[in-house]
Structure 1
Amino acid sequence: LYLNSFNNTAFASADAVRDRIRTDVSAAIWHGGSLQSSAGVRLLLPEQLEREKVQELAGLSIDRLDVECTRYQPAPELLTAAFDEKPVDEILVSHLLKSNCLVTGQPDWGSVQISYSGPQIDQAGLLQYIVSFRNHNEFHEQCVERIYMDVLARCKPTKLAVYARYTRRGGLDINPWRTSHPQSPPANVRTARQ
């Protein structure tokens, strides 16, 4: 909706478009907050599309599991971990994340990568939890924050990062990332679904 508000608007350059989006998004993010910063905005021009790499998220896919999913609102109680076993370092991936836009009700499909150190997370329960977002109405960023907080509270990892790459709607990539510790941001590559 925001991008569509620029229909029939003339900009002097791609830099002017990027600056306008950065200003508007930064104002929306920090509105009323004490911390002020600027959002990062990267425009991909049509002549650059063919140079974009397609790459899948690193990690073990939990989509291979044969589990029955019957919950379609976020159910953090599905998350469990092996607290009495040796801790692990693991990266788990699912392409079955789906929620609905809070404003339009349109479906939002995404892939999610969960990197953690700590008690081993039960993969079947994690997959059921991810699928439980199916009928949930929330923005991408809120979904990633909810997943992060639920995994942190229920599974108690010592390190945790949650990264999602959503399919585009309106030509806009929204790929939220939340981490418990300083690290470089994930590589900004397209998945085949995007």
Structure 2
Amino acid sequence: MEIEGLSHLGGKTEYKDDYAPEVLEAFNNKHPENDYWVTFNCPEFTSLCPITGQPDFATIHINYLPDEKMVESKSLKLYLFSFRNHGAFHEDCVNIIMKDLIKLMNPKYIEVIGIFTPRGGISIYPYCNYGRLGTQYEELAKHRLMNRNLQ
């Protein structure tokens, strides 16, 4: 992997106090002609309930098919950690994450799943996805959304 333009690798880690999309960094995909999955799992995601201020805990799964750009994993970690003091509902978190990654990378396809731990006896598992409009990936997004099956 080329590290030109990546500022987080090898440097002192600075954790942001609140939502910080500016920490996301991308690098060039060496295989943009191939369709392949990249999966990230963040089992220690936290955010705050925007009403009560109480913490919410989740595992965030990110799956995408890269095109020209890919997200650098340390910057993704710092970005996801920046939600720790951010007030947002579960559904909002996964959609914000997806939209920020689309803006950064313009992937062929992306999906974000939040597996939030129960609060008040209820678990919430929001799912969102996107496939590049006018391509086979748009059809993939429709298919995966309509055939989503969570236990």
TM-score above 0.5, yes or no? yes
> Contact 2:61 / 2:112 at 8 angstroms: preserved in 1?
yes
Q: Does 1:127 align with 2:77?
A: yes
- Deviation track 1:42-79 (CA, whole Å, cap 9, x = no partner) reads xxxxxxxxxxxxxxxxxxxxxxxxx8351131111222
Partner of 1:57: none
Q: Does 1:82 align with 2:30?
A: no
| CA pair 74-174 structure 1, distance change in 2 beyond 3 A | same
In the TM superposition, residue 170 of structure 1 has moved relative to its aligned partner by 0.5
Q: Does 1:111 align with 2:73?
A: no
What is the CA–CA distance in structure 2 between the aligned matches of 1:97 and 1:133, rounded to whole Å?
8
- Deviation track 1:60-107 (CA, whole Å, cap 9, x = no partner) reads xxxxxxx83511311112222223532352111001211110111110
> Contact 1:92 / 1:114 at 8 angstroms: preserved in 2?
yes
> Contact 2:60 / 2:114 at 8 angstroms: preserved in 1?
yes
> Contact 1:96 / 1:130 at 8 angstroms: preserved in 2?
no
Q: Tell me, what secondary structure is at the counterpart of 2:83?
A: coil
Q: Identity, % of aligned pairs?
A: 30
Partner of 1:33: none
Aligned partner of 2:70: which letter? Q
Partner of 1:68: 13
Aligned match for 2:88, one of 138, 141, 146:
138
Partner of 2:150: 188
Gaps of 5+ in 2: 1-11, 131-140
Q: Does 1:168 align with 2:130?
A: no
Q: Tell me, what secondary structure is at the counterpart of 1:96?
A: strand
What is the CA–CA distance in structure 1 between the aligned matches of 2:46 and 2:109, rounded to whole Å?
25
The CA RMSD measured in Å over matched residues stands at: 1.6
What is the CA–CA distance in structure 2 between the aligned matches of 1:153 and 1:171, rounded to whole Å?
35
| Structure number with higher strand proportion | 2
Q: Does 1:97 align with 2:42?
A: no
Highest CA radius of gyration, 1 or 2?
1
What is the CA–CA distance in structure 2 between the aligned matches of 1:69 and 1:111, rounded to whole Å?
22
Alignment size in residue pairs: 122
